[in-house]
Amino acid sequence: MSDFYQTGIITTLHQLGKSSLERLESELLRFSKTKPVALVLPALYSEFEGPAMPGIIQELTKVKYLNEIVLALDQASEQELQRVRELMATIPTEVRIIHNNGKRITEVYETLARNGLDVGQPGKGRSAWLAYGYVLARGRSDVIALHDCDIVTYNRELLARLCYPVANPYLDFVFCKGYYSRVSNKMNGRVTRLLVTPLVRSIQQLVGQHKFLAFLDSFRYPLAGEFCMTTDLARVNRIPWDWGLEVGSLAEVHRNYSPRRVCQVDIAATYEHKHQALSPDDAGKGLKKMAVDICKSIFRTLASEGVVFSDGLFKSLLVTYLRQAEDTLLKYEADAMINGLDFDRHEEAKAVETFTNAIGLAAQIFMENPMSTPLIPNWNRVISAIPDIFEMLRIAVEEDNK
């Protein structure tokens, strides 16, 4: 049977029956007359050399309802920028490229730093944040959608389903998170399956019901990189620049808006992108670094809402999480068996051990400095500090795109 159940405190929009892409895109084209949609693409140049971005570009050439596309390009030389321009030129929608390694954008970052605004290190978080700022500076769109650029199974229905809930003026959603099945011949999505969900439920066991934990636990895939939001939300949200980006963004959405105005939507039957190594012995890279950053973000959010952390609580959390994760692992093993999927019990157990260690590291960092989780200031604060920053950013991008 189709899964139509509504669980948690946010609205879930399922894929029920056979959807019509033609209908979705026709309605989005009509909605775009009053609620124009911008698409933000935070990309590395390397993603243009593999199969992902060429496939995404091919699909975007068929999309007619977008008002503008902003590509935030990282790790690209001037020569590589020119090649990206040529590839993106096949898209009929107006495309603007933010060259994060270019001289003009570097000057924007330096201006922010001189005014005491820390926007963090290079990465997806900073790139996305600057792209939001450029969309706001232009003032031409009311809705911003974002998806990753390493999706090798991309099709334009993903984008249509992602945009629809926020672009539809008859609905009242300000934020929509995408979700999808991370299954191939095996179960992927280890950080969500074996870290975030067991961790959230373990904290609930120890501190009781909490609104943010209930909110986070309502998302089927809280670490998905695909979402859509209003420009008003983009203006007021602070976001982390590290691997805590997705969880930290959800924390800000929860802080600023009622869960009634938040939804999640099934955007793809299959989803495949590049995978990070576990890196169990190195907390500075791979899934272990991701896990540490995510945990710090969760701890900081809860502390800001009145949860008191102590050494004793963190010790109990490690034990509780380990039991929760081990029980969860058994559930996934049974699920894999009935579906004939590959399931490496040893590798799954190694992931749980790595994540347990990451929770301990994150707890130690948090106790030493509870404010250590980096958050990029929201655009309202930036404008207050530098009133002409939008004009500076707009001119920098326009000059780079000549």
The C-alpha atoms of residue 165 and residue 27 are separated, in whole angstroms, by: 11
Distance of CA 44 to the CA centre of its chain: 16
How much is the pLDDT for 1? 39
Which residue is it, tokens 């009622």?
Answer: 258
Which token pair is 108? 């924007």
Residue 2: pLDDT band by 50, 70, 90 thresholds? low
> Is residue 173 predicted with pLDDT exceeding 80?
yes
If you average pLDDT over residues 352-377, what whole number do you get? 90
Q: How confident is the model at residue 272 (pLDDT cuts 50, 70, 90)?
A: confident
CB environment 349-377: b (16+ within 10 A), e (fewer): eebbebbbbbbbbbbebbeeeeeebbbbb
Share of the chain above pLDDT 90, in %: 83
Q: Is residue 3 scored above 80 in pLDDT?
A: no
**Per-residue pLDDT band at 154 (split at 50, 70, 90):** very high
Of 238-242, 279-283, 342-346, which has the strongest mean pLDDT? 342-346
Domains and CATH numbers, the chain: 11-400 (3.90.550.10)
Phi, psi of 155 (to 5 degrees): -145, 160
Taking only the tens place, the pLDDT of each residue in 313-329 is 999 999 999 999 999 99
- pLDDT for residue 32: 97
Query: How large is the angle between the packed helices 286-304 and 345-368, nearest 10 degrees?
Result: 50
3-state class (DSSP) for residue 67: strand
Residue 373 is predicted with a pLDDT of 65
Start-to-end Cα distance in the chain:
53
Q: Strand 262-268 vs strand 227-230: parallel, antiparallel, or unpaired?
A: unpaired
Q: What is the mean pLDDT of the chain?
A: 93
pLDDT digits (tens, 9 = 90+) for 98-152: 999 999 999 999 999 999 999 988 899 999 999 999 999 999 999 999 999 999 9
221 in Cβ contact with 180 (< 8 Å):
yes
Is pLDDT above 60 for 51? Answer: yes
* Per-residue confidence (pLDDT) for residue 282, from 0 to 100: 76
- Residue ranges of alpha helices (H) inside 1-155 are 21-31, 46-49, 52-60, 78-88, 103-114, 124-138
pLDDT digits (tens, 9 = 90+) for 177-201: 999 988 888 888 899 999 999 999 9
Q: Taking residues 302-320, what's their average pLDDT?
A: 95
User: pLDDT per residue over 202-234, tens digit each?
Assistant: 999 999 999 999 999 999 999 999 999 999 999
* Rounded Cα–Cα distance for residues 343 and 131 (Å): 40
Exposure of 109 by Cβ count < 10 A (0-12 exposed, 13-18 middle, 19+ buried)? Answer: middle
